[in-house]
Amino acid sequence: MNIVTEHITIKNEVLTLTNQRAIYWDSQKALILSDVHIGKTAHFRRHGIPMPDDILQKDLERLQQLVTHFKAEQLLIVGDLFHAEFNIDMSTFKNWHSQFEDLQLVLIRGNHDSLSKRLMDDFNIRVETALVSEPFIFIHEHSAKYPETFTISGHTHPGVLIKGKGKQKLKLPCYQVASNQLILPAFSLFTGLNTKSKPDGAVCYAFTDSSIFKFE
Binder of another protein out of 3, 44, 74, 131 (CB under 8 A): 44
DSSP 194: B
How far out from the chain centre does Cα 116 lie? 21
For the chain, the straight-line distance linking the first and the last C-alpha, in angstroms and rounded, comes to: 27
State which residue, 147 or 166, has the beta carbon closest to another protein.
166
**Does 147 interact with another protein (rule: CB under 8 A)?**
no
Helix (H, G, I), strand (E, B) or coil at 24: strand
In the bound complex, what is the minimum distance in angstroms from residue 179's beta carbon to another protein?
A: 17
- How many chain residues interact with another protein (CB under 8 A)? 45
Annotate each residue in 57-86 with x if it binds another protein (CB under 8 A) or - if it does not, as one string.
--------------------------xx--
Residues in region 81-140 near another protein by CB under 8 A:
83-84, 87-88, 112
**Does 197 interact with another protein (rule: CB under 8 A)?**
no
Per-position DSSP letters for 45-89, written without gaps between them? HHTT----THHHHHHHHHHHHHHHHHT-SEEEE-S-SB-SS--HH
CA nearest neighbour of 160 among 85, 88, 214: 214
CA 52, CA 191: separation in Å to the nearest integer? 14
Binder of another protein out of 16, 45, 96, 126 (CB under 8 A): 45
Contact set with another protein (CB under 8 A)? 42-55, 83-84, 87-88, 112, 160-170, 172, 190-192, 195-196, 198, 204, 206, 208-211, 213, 215
